[in-house]
Every structure is written in structure tokens, then in C-alpha cells.
Amino acid sequence: MAAIEKVCEMCGDYHGHAMYRYKYNHLQMCPKHRKDFRYKEAVLYLSTLEDNKFDYCLVVNDMTVQGNVNGQYFNTACTVNYSSVIRKMRRLLRCRKLNIVKTNIFCWHMCGQTLEAYINGK
């Protein structure tokens, strides 16, 4: 499992420990892909856990940035810095206002469903 966390979700390159730095409050991918996300429509799903920690998933519908994860970029590192994530996502997407959906999902495994289908089916 540890190896999967070090692989770029866009191109599949293996980055080892450098990925932790790339991924921190961001998405799991090499920095070179970030420009591809500019002006793309996306929704940031947040799931608040205990102790002010949260997981998040950026869902991008644009076909050019689906990566190897069907456009669903999860980060389940129990992040604490909420505002840093929002700031980084806004910068990534070059958007003034980020679409944010708050959820209470504690487990992000959705048995093959997309996140949107999972949430709408509840």
C-alpha cells in the first residue's frame, strides 16, 4: 500500500518519498501536471473527521485530467490545515470561488461507484 501512495495519479510515475511533499495538502501527482488543471470545473469534497482533521477528494469532470483515478483525487492523510488545502486547490484551478461540498463519509471506498453517485444515492 505504501508504494501506491508514492505513485503519480496522473502519469503513474514512481516518486518515492518526494511524493509526500508533492501531496501535502494537495493532490497526489508530480507538480508538472498542475498546470493542466487550470480553469477546469471541479468540486472539492471534504469529510470532517475527529479532532478537526479531515479527508478530501477533488473531483474533476474534464476528460483531459482524469488521470489514473477517473478524475477523483483522494487525499486521506487526515489533513489539519483546511485553509491551506482550499488555497492550493484554488490556485491549482485558477478559480476565484471553489465549489466545496461537505460530507460525512468516513470511508472513501465506494465499491466501484463514483463519489458523486455514492453521495447522490444516499
What is the closest distance, in whole angstroms, from the C-beta atom of residue 32 to Zn ion in the complex? 7
In angstroms, give the least distance from the CB of 43 to Zn ion: 22
Please say whether the beta carbons of 55 and 108 come within 8 A.
Answer: yes
Minimum distance, C-beta of residue 12 to Zn ion, in the bound complex (Å) = 7
- Could you say which residues in the range 38-57 bind Zn ion, by CB under 5 A? none
**8 contributes a contact to Zn ion by CB under 5 A:** yes
Choosing from 6, 7, 24, 30, the residue that interacts with Zn ion (CB under 5 A) is 30
Q: Which is nearer to Zn ion, 10 or 58 (CB)?
A: 10
- Write out the DSSP string of the chain: -TTGGGB-TTT--B-TTHHHHHHTTS-SS-GGGGGGGTT--EEEEEEE-GGG-EEEEEEE--GGG-TTTTTEEEEEEEE--HHHHHHHHHHHHT-SS-EEEEE--S----TT--HHHHHHT-
Q: How far apart are CA 5 and CA 87, in angstroms?
A: 23
Among residues 3, 6, 10, 34, the one that binds Zn ion under rule CB under 5 A: 10
Nearest distance, CB of residue 7 and Zn ion, angstroms: 9
- Count of residues near Zn ion by CB under 5 A: 5
Residues that bind Zn ion (CB under 5 A): 8, 10-11, 13, 30
